[in-house]
Structures are given as structure tokens and as C-alpha cells.
Amino acid sequence: MKKISFFLLICLLLYGVVCGSETEGHHHFSWADFIGRILNSLILFGGLYYLLRKPAGKFLQAKSEGIKDDIEKRRQKIAQNEQELVKLQKRIEKLQEEIEEFITDAEKRAGMEKEEILKNADQEGERIKNLVREMVANELQQYLKNLKTTVIDEALRRFKETEIQKLSPDDHLKLIDKNIEECLKIKDV
């Protein structure tokens, strides 16, 4: 009933527009003309309604179902995205924990490596000190040996110059024996 009332209202409005647009200059109203136009409009719109009712209904029904399906798909997509978001947030939290653990572990390893390096440096320093001590001791012994040899050579040279000429052959032999004994003592040192 509402559809028919709405249809008649539209027809009357259209008639009013059509009648108002005539520009012939006379304004006389004819009921036959009016009823003919209404009947023509009813037939036209009734035929259009009859012909287009099923295809338009199917089209609108398909469009409505398409929109419902699209809404449902979007809801599902939103739910899926929310689940993925929760998973990603958990993953980010886990990654942050892993990063903190990695940093803590790296700091521990760095501290241990630092201690190891310092320990190795101390050991290497001690080894170098010992090597230097040995080298200095060897150099000192060599220097003392050279010094003793030089002193003995110089003492012998002076002794030869001054005292050998004054010695008798027996004193000379005693002196040689004594020098040999002294040399053997120096050799043992």
C-alpha cells in the first residue's frame, strides 16, 4: 500500500511539473488530459516495475549480500590482524628480553675477557722481567769475566815489566804455579 501511495504521489508531482512547463499561453485544465497522462504514467511505471522488479531485486539482494560478505571478511581480517598484533607484541617483548640477556651475557664475557687479558698481561710482564733479569745477569757475568781477564792481563803485563826481571828461576816457577792455581779458581767461579 505504501508503494502505491508513493507511486501516485510521484505521478502527481511529475504531472504538475509537466503541466507547469507548458508555455503555450493558455491555462485551461482538462480532466481527460490529466487522467490520460496519469494512465500513461501508470502504464509506463507499472511496466518498468514489472520488468525491472526481479532483476533490480536480484541486483540489490546480491549487492546487499556482497556488502554483508565484505563486512564479515573485514571483521575476520580485523580479528586475524588483532591476533597477529598480539603475537607480534609477544615476540617484541621476547626479543627485548633476548636483547637484555645478550647485553648482560656480553658484559659478563667482556669482564671475563678483560680479567683474562690483564692476567695474561701480568704473566707476560713477569716473563719479560725475568728475561731482562737473566739478560742483565748474563751481561754482568760476561762483563765481570772480561773485567777479570783485563785486570789479570794488566797485572801480568805490569808484573812482567817490573817484577819478572827481579825474580830468580825458582821464584819464577813458583809464581807460574801460583798463577795457574789462581786461574783455575777463576775458571771455577
Q: How far apart are CA 101 and CA 91, in angstroms?
A: 15
CB burial string 31-50: b at 16+ within 10 A, e below: eeeeeebeeebeeeeeeeee
151 contacts 143 by C-beta, under 8 angstroms: no
Ranking 33-37, 54-58, 90-94, 174-178 by mean pLDDT, the lowest is 174-178
Q: Any idea what DSSP says for residue 189?
A: -
Place 105 in a pLDDT band, splitting at 50, 70 and 90: very high
Average pLDDT, the chain: 82
Q: pLDDT at position 118, please?
A: 87
Q: How far apart are CA 11 and CA 19, in angstroms?
A: 12
pLDDT tens-digit profile of 169-183? 787 788 778 878 877
Place 189 in a pLDDT band, splitting at 50, 70 and 90: low
pLDDT tens-digit profile of 134-157? 888 888 888 888 877 887 787 777
